[in-house]
Amino acid sequence: MGEREDVVIELKNVSYKYPATDFYALKDVSLTVRRGEVLLITGPTGAGKTTLCYVLNGLVPHFFGGVFEGEARVLGYDIRETPVGFLSTKVGLVFSDPLSQLVSATVEDEVAFGLENLGLPEEEIMKRVKEVLEYVELYKLKDRPPYTLSGGEQQAVALASVLAMDPEVYVLDEPTSNLDPIGTMRVLDLLKKLAREKRKTIIIVEHKLEEMAEIADRMIVMNEGKIIAEGTPREILTHRAEHLHELGLEAAHIPLLVQRLMKERLIDNVGEIPLTLNEGVRFFDQILSSNTLSLTSGNGGSIESKKQGIGEPIIRVENLVHVYPGGTMALKGVSMEVYRGDFLAIIGQNGSGKTTLVKHFNGLLKPTEGKVTVFGMDVEKTPTSELVKRVGYIFQDPDRQLFTRSVKDELIFGPKNIGLPKDEIEERIERVAKKLRIDHLLDRQPYSLGKGEKQRVAIASILVMDPEVIVLDEPTTGQDPRNRREIMDTMKALHEEGKTIVFITHDMNLVAEYANRCIVMSDGRILLQGSPKEVFREVETLETTRLKPPTITSLFLELSKRYPIKDTILTLEEAVRLFRRVGG
Amino acid sequence: MGYEYFPGNSLLHRLDPRTKFLIFLMIVVLTVSIADPVGIFALLVLTAILYRVAGIPGRKLRNMIVSLLPVFALFIFLNWFIVPPKGAHLLFTLFGLPITIETTMVGVTGGLRFLLFICVARLLTMTTSIAELLVALVKLKVPKEVATSLGIGFSSVAILIDKINTVREAQISRAAKVDVKNPFKKLFALIPIIVPAIYLTILRGMDVAKALESRAFTYNPAGRTMRKHIKLKTIDYAFLTVWLIFTVVVAFLRFKYGWFDYMFTIGRFL
């Protein structure tokens, strides 16, 4: 095969502006992708990643309209002259929000849908559907409506429905955002196999750079509509780790640590920068085993800064069982406490009962069996309108609660419902709006705001009610790493002011950095409970529920088998400090 | 509630969707022909038996009927004012308006008809998967893309209901009073739920359109495969014949001899 035929995607100086906007979402993007290549695209929110995906199957410009400049060819077809309906038989697109792309009544119908559109004979369709569903381990769910599945399962269905169509090019927009670490690896392995064995071309937008590094041949970094870096993942993740970090991206931990240590001259410049966990272990093994550096000396003082259970219990859950009307037993006897001043993380697989548990804290759900007391009030006997004054619950998707004409009205809603006087409401709005940096948006229409801004308005609308406990149900899903951190930093500030925070998350790094306590749930029960350090040490138990500690923690746990590192390292800062003490 | 399919392998599940559709139409004809509340009640009992045959738990039917009782009461109440007082059997007077057994029976009939329609329609959807229904529509000469779109619509309703549930929970968490009794206050109380619901519906529409385009729905709509096959079997013909005879006989008695009017059964006891 000649060089030319091998080119699958060719963009030349593509710029694109959505209708009714005054800025270019893509600016002068040029890109060539060859058959069988796995290309990783990353960048902060608003970088143009999703828009680029839409170009590849022609949704941009055919579906959206707007101004398209430059030239884009996919498999030789000029996308401007090719209908999306045709291009989509060659290019399979998986969207980032799994449910938004599921249109059928059952999982089986969903996977068959594209094949029916292709007009394939029935037997062929049934055969492929079965194969693909077995492959993604969803065959047993084939008769279920997709919306009743967990986020992770929905994502698997979305992927399966594209896999079944067997396209030449796969374009996947954050295909693992709802998956646990082990589920993520499974999907990435599958994609790698498609590229290696079937010579499919794969383009993935992802924030999980560390995991992607092992499967991508090449990566591009986008920012504000432009491609700002291009190279192999190893080049970019090792040599530009700091740069990625500054962009607000989740840079791979190990190269970031090594770069920091070199910058502070705590270790010498030692050639190849390690990327993966195994490389990291080998790298530090070499450094630590050489005589120049020893960790034994500096391990005197504990750097455990986050104390456990600060105050008295304010929420008490005793033998809680919850059965949903359909008969699903979501909680099977849970006992736990939330203490005043807690910064509590609740983690666990999809469907492990995390959300069901926290919905009892403000009375959205009532116990089927067992007892929940909140500030001494029995949840079963206390009206929800009383409980919500003490426990604020922040939902994942701001679109599901904003409804007024202005941000200010949105903030008035809650306090007015609990009957606060007008001047008090005004005063609170001013204070909260400033804290969340939305004071300049008070007259804007909530729906017209950006994603991050909407999320901040939704959070503010709870904070103005001044609850003592704040519950966040995966507030960071669908946000880029920078937004995630901003939300969590706000929570940290509130925590320092004396609020108690409970958050549900899939992001182990957030647990490591912010929580003082952590509860791991599995199958309706509590599996582990303790400080993040204690919890992340239980590597094997975590694995049973498909979780794993942050890479930096794994690295030092591994090294501690050979070197006297007593402390469990959770964050980059802690790791640098460890060396600083030693190196000094 | 959205489209609720209750998977199973009962006689009703195995019937051709077209058969079920026609029987549904015949029941409509029957209920319109019969005005006798006792007769309609008998049809309702028959429907309950069919629920049992389909293996649908009794509580589903019970919950459905209980939730419709206020509407049933409304039918009786409104008919007192709408139907001109007739007949001699006075029950009582309401604000000087004479209420007779006859006017009450008109209301009872209306209410029972309504109950019956809902219960039969739900039985149809609970025993017919969306895919089957779509094939039936295509067989009845509805264009494939229209039938498919209808199916997508049905599926989306369930998703939207799910989303609207979270909207409700989010607003309750902001101390919204969504459970007020006064119907006018209720209307205002529901604004915080209705507005996001409309917004989410529009978003869903956009999402579905994008997803359809991206999965080759517009590639060759007329040539798309309909996976499920349906065929009229002996049992279908048997069912249809029995129902047809029944419907014709009832209609004949009604229109030829004036049977089954409002007072047909009750009148005999007065």
Segment A95-118, tens digit of pLDDT? 988 888 999 889 999 999 999 999
Which residues between 228 and 257 in chain B have a beta carbon less than 8 angstroms from any beta carbon of chain A? 229
| Tens digit of each residue's pLDDT (9 = 90 or more) over B5-24 | 888 889 899 999 989 988 88
B192 → chain A, closest CA residue: A403
Question: Is residue B91 helix, strand or coil?
Answer: strand
Report, at the CATH architecture level, how domain A3-241 is classified: 3-Layer(aba) Sandwich (3.40)
On whether any CB of chain B is under 8 Å from the CB of A477, the answer is no
Q: Which of B159, B219, B229 sits opposite A117 (nearest CB)?
A: B219
Q: What is the pLDDT of residue A35?
A: 95
Question: Is residue A467 helix, strand or coil?
Answer: coil
* Least-confidence region, from A126-140, A200-214, A318-332, B123-137: B123-137
> Structure pTM?
0.83
Domain A313-530: homologous superfamily in CATH: P-loop containing nucleotide triphosphate hydrolases (3.40.50.300)
Q: How far is B229 from chain A (nearest CA, A)?
A: 10
Are B169 and A162 an interchain contact pair (Cβ–Cβ within 8 Å)?
Answer: no
Separation of alpha carbons A346 and A337, rounded Å: 12
Which residue of B1, B164, B215, B229 is the best one to mutate when testing the A interface, meaning the one whose CB has the most A CBs within 10 A? B215
- Kindly state the percentage of chain A with pLDDT values over 70: 95
Nearest to B123 by CA among B165, B65, B69: B65
* Least-confidence region, from A262-271, A297-306, A373-382, A517-526: A297-306
Contacts of A119 in chain B (CB under 8 A): 219-220, 223-225
Q: Which residues contact B19 (CB under 8 A, 6 or more apart)?
A: B232, B236, B239, B240
Q: How far is B144 from chain A (nearest CA, A)?
A: 11
Identify whether the C-beta of residue A97 lies closer than 8 Å to the C-beta of residue A75.
no
Half-sphere exposure of A174 (CA within 13 A, CB side): 21
Are A63 and B209 an interchain contact pair (Cβ–Cβ within 8 Å)?
Answer: yes
Q: What is the pLDDT of residue A486?
A: 87
On whether any CB of chain B is under 8 Å from the CB of A405, the answer is no
Separation of alpha carbons A551 and A434, rounded Å: 36
| Tens digit of each residue's pLDDT (9 = 90 or more) over A408-430 | 999 999 999 999 999 999 999 99
Q: Does pLDDT of A401 surpass 80?
A: yes
The residue ranking higher by pLDDT, B96 or A381, is A381
Q: How far is A190 from chain B (nearest CA, A)?
A: 21
Q: Does pLDDT of B184 surpass 80?
A: no
Phi and psi angles of residue B19, each rounded to the nearest 5 degrees, phi first: -60, -45
Q: How far is B163 from chain A (nearest CA, A)?
A: 7
Highest mean predicted confidence (pLDDT) among A282-296, A298-312, A380-394, B186-200? A380-394
Q: Tally Cβ neighbours within 10 Å of residue A128.
A: 19
Separation of alpha carbons A464 and A529, rounded Å: 31
Mean pLDDT computed over B179-195: 81
Classify residue A222 as left (phi > 0), alpha (psi -120 to 50) or beta: beta
User: What tokens appear for A416 in the block?
Assistant: 């007015």
Q: Each residue of B152-166: b (16+ CB within 10 Å) or e?
A: bebbbebbbeebbeb
Identify whether the C-beta of residue A35 lies closer than 8 Å to the C-beta of residue A6.
yes
Confidence of residue A433 (pLDDT cuts 50, 70, 90): very high
Which residues between 35 and 54 in chain B have a beta carbon less than 8 angstroms from any beta carbon of chain A? none
Nearest to A112 by CA among A94, A128, A92, A95: A128
On whether any CB of chain A is under 8 Å from the CB of B159, the answer is yes
Q: How far is A178 from chain B (nearest CA, A)?
A: 17
Are B226 and A116 an interchain contact pair (Cβ–Cβ within 8 Å)?
Answer: yes
On whether any CB of chain B is under 8 Å from the CB of A324, the answer is no
On whether any CB of chain B is under 8 Å from the CB of A359, the answer is yes
On whether any CB of chain B is under 8 Å from the CB of A364, the answer is yes
Identify whether the C-beta of residue A11 lies closer than 8 Å to the C-beta of residue A41.
no
Which residues between 91 and 110 in chain A have a beta carbon less than 8 angstroms from any beta carbon of chain B? 92-93, 95, 97, 99-106, 109
Mean pLDDT computed over A466-486: 85
* Least-confidence region, from A219-223, A231-235, A448-452: A448-452
On whether any CB of chain A is under 8 Å from the CB of B203, the answer is yes
Which residue of B144, B214, B217 is the best one to mutate when testing the A interface, meaning the one whose CB has the most A CBs within 10 A? B214
Are B167 and A400 an interchain contact pair (Cβ–Cβ within 8 Å)?
Answer: yes
Q: What is the pLDDT of residue A558?
A: 93
- Per DSSP, which regions of A399-484 are E strands? 469-473
Contacts of B154 in chain A (CB under 8 A): 105
Confidence of residue A54 (pLDDT cuts 50, 70, 90): very high
Q: Which of A88, A105, A400 sits opposite B151 (nearest CB)?
A: A105
Q: What is the pLDDT of residue B85?
A: 67
Which long-range contacts does A427-434 make (Cβ < 8 Å, 24+ apart)?
Answer: A428/A464, A428/A466, A429/A464, A432/A460, A432/A463, A432/A464, A433/A407, A433/A460
Q: Does pLDDT of A303 surpass 80?
A: no
Instruction: Provide the residue type at A365 as one letter.
Output: L
| Tens digit of each residue's pLDDT (9 = 90 or more) over B19-44 | 998 888 888 888 888 889 998 999 99
Identify whether the C-beta of residue A544 lies closer than 8 Å to the C-beta of residue A522.
yes
Q: What is the pLDDT of residue A300?
A: 39
The alpha carbon torsion through A90, A95, A100, A104 (nearest 10 deg) reads 30
Residue A211: C-alpha distances to residues A94, A176, A252, A277 (Å): 19, 11, 9, 11
| Tens digit of each residue's pLDDT (9 = 90 or more) over A437-453 | 999 999 999 988 888 88
On whether any CB of chain A is under 8 Å from the CB of B227, the answer is yes
Instruction: Provide the residue type at B263 as one letter.
Output: M
Nearest to A546 by CA among A576, A530, A569, A523: A523
Task: Report yes or no for ipTM above 0.90.
Answer: no
Mean pLDDT computed over A321-326: 90
For chain A, give the longest Cα–Cα distance: 76
Q: What is the pLDDT of residue A305?
A: 43
On whether any CB of chain A is under 8 Å from the CB of B161, the answer is no
Q: What is the pLDDT of residue A127?
A: 95
Q: What is the pLDDT of residue A4?
A: 60
Q: Which residues pair with A371 in a beta bridge?
A: A318
Contacts of B229 in chain A (CB under 8 A): 122
Q: Does pLDDT of A271 surpass 80?
A: no
Q: What is the pLDDT of residue A3?
A: 56
Are A413 and B154 an interchain contact pair (Cβ–Cβ within 8 Å)?
Answer: no
Q: Does pLDDT of A551 surpass 80?
A: yes
Q: Does pLDDT of A291 surpass 60?
A: no
Q: Does pLDDT of A577 surpass 90?
A: no
| Tens digit of each residue's pLDDT (9 = 90 or more) over B130-163 | 888 888 888 888 888 888 888 888 888 888 888 8
Verify cis geometry, omega within 30 degrees of 0, for the bond prior to B84. Answer: no
Give chain A's mean pLDDT. 90
